[in-house]
Structure 1
Amino acid sequence: MTARSDAAPGAGWSVPVQTVVSPRGIPAWLIEDRSVPVIALSFAFAGGAALDPAGQEGRADLAASLLTQGAGPYDTAAFSSLLRDRAVSLSFDADRNALAGTLRVLEGERAFGAEMLALVLAEPRFDGEAVARVKAQKTLALRREAEQPRTLAARRWWAESVPGHPFARPAGGTEEGIAPLGRDDLRAAMAAQLRRGSLVAAAAGAIDADGLGALLDRAFAEAVPAGEAAPVPPMPAPRAFGLAVIERDAPQAAALFGHGAIAPEDPDWEAAQVVNWVLGGGGFSSRLMTEIREKRGLTYGIGTALVPFRGAALLLGSVSTENPRFGETLALLRAEWARMAADGPSEDEVAAGKAFLSGSFPLGFTSTPQIAGTLVALQQLGRGPEWLAGRLARLAAVTPEEARRTARRLFDAEALSVAVAGRPTL
């Protein structure tokens, strides 16, 4: 039988998350919802672009893009037609630290959907025509990105912040990295990624624990070998590099800025989200938008976000402004960063941040694919179902004093590092 347990709902959270273990030992989370006859299964294998060998940057991304271009006896056209005729949606992507996928099926097609997913994982075709076509598409995209200041700034920020770590490389690869890749390289990419011990999965929709257990076994038990993928090295504390300029002819200078943050496991995580909302995560309500856009008209938009990884996090932001006014924008950014570190948010700002974050929390659970994806993301961070149950209560408990103390921990004007592409006046 399929083992299962329920996470008891807590204050403000009324949907229990079931933890399911299939008959063959594959774990997953489940939120059952029979309001529509649809099932969404999300899953991720640890590794992603971090497992790309040196000189083959983009291998995982290319392999992920090709997984739906034919499998087993079906070429690209036949495979696409088969899924379309049964209203099955199957997609894959690779990011810095995972190869992820989503299966969406009607309730009556869940066995067929699981069989097709298993076929893709066990027997991807990587036909020469499909490989050449997708490589050509990605090459064009990479060339376009190479002309975009925002992309150039982001790549430089990562390269400067974590030199020598796999995250320093572009997750989508490079033109030089994907050019020599062939079928054997792509099969090697899948062999490096696919291990049941590195899998996290979650489902939402019209399926119960026993049904999910059967789906998991059909999709993964035979198609994916046991064991763990090669571990991704822990992300080091980012190096403070100050300012890096990439000279490009462009009407605006685009920048990525930030530094390390407290880890998502830290007890102050909710307080950190509140103070980030106040500084740059609150859209037009944020201090940075007020000071840099509203008062001075220096940009159309500026924002910040906490970017979590397992055991680590970053506080990152972006802005674009006219080249001659970049120096003014940067000075204001650094001043607001330092002011938040020194004084923290006001009592009214804390209340507004808590209200927004609490009110927006349910928006992550408005569709079956969104629910399943959110549950997978929580597992990737090492969180349990109880994290959901206590989320709103933890936000409600954040006090102005806690927020100010966390702001001192979170913001460091001296460590703030900026990569900018354009012809900025400094």
Structure 2
Amino acid sequence: MKSFILSLTGAFMTVAMLSMPALAQIDVQEVKTESGIEAWLVEEHSIPFTALELRFRGGTSLDRTGKRGEVNLMMATLEEGAADLDAQEFAKARDSLAADFSFDAYSDTVTISARFLTENRDEAVALLRTAIMEPRFDQSAIDRVRGQVLSIIDSDAKSPNDIASATLNAQAFGDHPYGSSANGTPESVAGLTSDDMFAARNRTLVKDQVFVAAVGDITPTELSALLDGLLSDLPQSGPEPAKRVEPKLHGGITVVPFESPQSVVMFGHSGIKRDDPDFVAAYIANEILGGRRESRLMHEVREKRGLTYGIGSYLVPFDHSEVVLGQFSSSNAVAAEAIDVVKEEWRKFVAEGITSEELEVAKTYLTGAYALRFDGNGPIASILVGMQMVGLDRDYILLRNALVEAVTLDDINRVVRDLYKPQDLTFVVVGQPEDLKSE
């Protein structure tokens, strides 16, 4: 579940859209506060607005045994009242400042995003601090958000897409946290208490696992003081991270019966680490195989045979594992044929490799589209935090396209042979596919 509570004014949206520094002008500074917090900063003083991104490594994989869903529920309840403000009073105070806070939980991280105007910066950050340091976790707020989570769990249990994802994750990762929903189960969520919320906060919001980026109308000195005031009283460290898990995807088909005219198909096998020297080449390879509308899978499965409206593949490098995944939907009558085509394209990708023309087209697309990601202070701050977490240097933004261009045909075909494993390609099919049974 992406749990977020959002307040966004028209004025805030306007400054967010206007504050878009050009890619070549993104000068990333490193800031270290007196208490030792490190952050990356891009100063942009043309608009009186700042985006602040905080990301804590650990995420929902830190859920304790028997308490699956506690980190997710905690993040969703974090601003439902703080200090002497109840949920409604907190929301009113935030809105009066034209500030925006969002609190999200993911498998490997929890994130706190803040957007505020310069004139209200001190008040907005002070309010955010109360949410982080003095959450109330009132029983009424927990019960209300718990009801929302339980509704999502119930909805997911009836969604073929979510059933397919849950089944493949369970096969790949077993009893590791990656193998189950971060939302938890009805039983585990029903048992969570206010004490669990405080424990989850203390386990996840810790100083030695925080990564910070800020973009906008703020100086290094101002950011340093802001961060020390905001974060210096957090616990220094938390629990040991989740253990590494090798994905157990070694081929085969699992059919999950579901009454529907269409079958949802998810597939995948082991992948590549984000810090692998060959990751850029692997990323380009995936674009060619299934990352874009003009990919091989789209051409063969949709354009040539009309077996689906859309199909794609993607690299998923978790902190403690990595997979290559793909997904499509087909009518029950042709799902088996579509799977056969995917298997054959996977095999041909390895056996025949990528052509020089495919490589050049992919490079042109990827280098041209890269700047479009930096479309505002918020997205830039999010990208900078992501770079920090995977160990990239501050100048990666300026070097990235050169790294793409440097990949040779020999490089990428070597990576294709190493990464893609037709014999391990594992399929989960949710629906009533004709002429297809679990292997």
Counterparts of 2:270 and 2:248 in 1: how far apart (Å)? 6
Q: Kindly indicate whether residue 372 of structure 2 is the aligned counterpart of residue 363 of structure 1.
A: yes
Q: How far apart are residue 238 of structure 1 and its match?
A: 4.1
Pick from 327, 335, 339 the counterpart of residue 326 of structure 1: 335
Counterparts of 1:241 and 1:72 in 2: how far apart (Å)? 53
Counterparts of 1:322 and 1:13 in 2: how far apart (Å)? 47
2:140 alignment counterpart: 129
1:81 alignment counterpart: 92
3-state DSSP class of the match of 1:324?
coil
Q: How far apart are residue 323 of structure 1 and its match?
A: 1.4
**1:174-189 alignment to 2 at 5 Å?**
174-189=185-200
1:290 alignment counterpart: 299
1:260 alignment counterpart: 270
8 Å Cα contact 1:91-1:101 kept in structure 2: yes
Counterparts of 1:357 and 1:169 in 2: how far apart (Å)? 33
Over residues 301-344 of structure 1, what are the superposed CA-to-partner deviations in whole Å (9 max), with x where a residue is unaligned? 10011122347532111111111211101000010011111122
8 Å Cα contact 1:264-1:311 kept in structure 2: no
Over residues 177-205 of structure 1, what are the superposed CA-to-partner deviations in whole Å (9 max), with x where a residue is unaligned? 21111211111111111210011111111
Describe the shift of the 1:228–1:18 C-alpha distance in structure 2 as closer, same or farther (beyond 3 A).
farther
Q: How far apart are residue 138 of structure 1 and its match?
A: 1.4
Q: How far apart are residue 65 of structure 1 and its match?
A: 0.6
Counterparts of 1:276 and 1:238 in 2: how far apart (Å)? 21
1:70 alignment counterpart: 81
Supply the AA of the counterpart residue of 1:95. Answer: Y
Describe the shift of the 1:241–1:177 C-alpha distance in structure 2 as closer, same or farther (beyond 3 A).
farther
3-state DSSP class of the match of 1:31?
strand
**Count of matched residue positions in the alignment of Structure 1 and Structure 2:** 413
Pick from 122, 126, 139 the counterpart of residue 111 of structure 1: 122
Q: Kindly indicate whether residue 244 of structure 2 is the aligned counterpart of residue 234 of structure 1.
A: yes
| TM-score for the superposition, normalised by structure 1 | 0.93
1:404 alignment counterpart: 413
8 Å Cα contact 1:310-1:381 kept in structure 2: no
1:416 alignment counterpart: 425
Q: How far apart are residue 86 of structure 1 and its match?
A: 0.5
| TM-score for the superposition, normalised by structure 2 | 0.91
Describe the shift of the 1:246–1:281 C-alpha distance in structure 2 as closer, same or farther (beyond 3 A).
same
Q: How far apart are residue 120 of structure 1 and its match?
A: 1.0
Describe the shift of the 1:75–1:241 C-alpha distance in structure 2 as closer, same or farther (beyond 3 A).
farther
3-state DSSP class of the match of 1:328?
helix
8 Å Cα contact 2:202-2:238 kept in structure 1: no
2:316 alignment counterpart: 307
3-state DSSP class of the match of 2:246?
coil
Describe the shift of the 1:154–1:193 C-alpha distance in structure 2 as closer, same or farther (beyond 3 A).
same
Unmatched runs of 5 consecutive residues or more in structure 1: 1-11
Q: How far apart are residue 250 of structure 1 and its match?
A: 1.6
Q: How far apart are residue 228 of structure 1 and its match?
A: 4.0
Supply the AA of the counterpart residue of 1:251. Answer: P
Over residues 253-303 of structure 1, what are the superposed CA-to-partner deviations in whole Å (9 max), with x where a residue is unaligned? 1122111222121222111111100110012x0111111111111111100
2:107 alignment counterpart: 96
2:226 alignment counterpart: 215
Q: Kindly indicate whether residue 53 of structure 2 is the aligned counterpart of residue 42 of structure 1.
A: yes
Unmatched runs of 5 consecutive residues or more in structure 2: 1-22
Supply the AA of the counterpart residue of 1:154. Answer: S
3-state DSSP class of the match of 1:110?
helix
Over residues 29-67 of structure 1, what are the superposed CA-to-partner deviations in whole Å (9 max), with x where a residue is unaligned? 111112321111111112211111232221111111111
Counterparts of 2:34 and 2:121 in 1: how far apart (Å)? 17
Pick from 158, 164, 171 the counterpart of residue 182 of structure 2: 171
Counterparts of 2:362 and 2:328 in 1: how far apart (Å)? 22
Supply the AA of the counterpart residue of 1:236. Answer: E
Over residues 368-410 of structure 1, what are the superposed CA-to-partner deviations in whole Å (9 max), with x where a residue is unaligned? 1111111112222222313323211100111222221111112
Supply the AA of the counterpart residue of 1:97. Answer: D
Identity of aligned residues (%): 35
Describe the shift of the 1:155–1:272 C-alpha distance in structure 2 as closer, same or farther (beyond 3 A).
same
Q: How far apart are residue 227 of structure 1 and its match?
A: 2.4
Describe the shift of the 1:333–1:360 C-alpha distance in structure 2 as closer, same or farther (beyond 3 A).
same
Pick from 53, 61, 66 the counterpart of residue 64 of structure 2: 53
Over residues 103-137 of structure 1, what are the superposed CA-to-partner deviations in whole Å (9 max), with x where a residue is unaligned? 11011222222212221111111112111111111
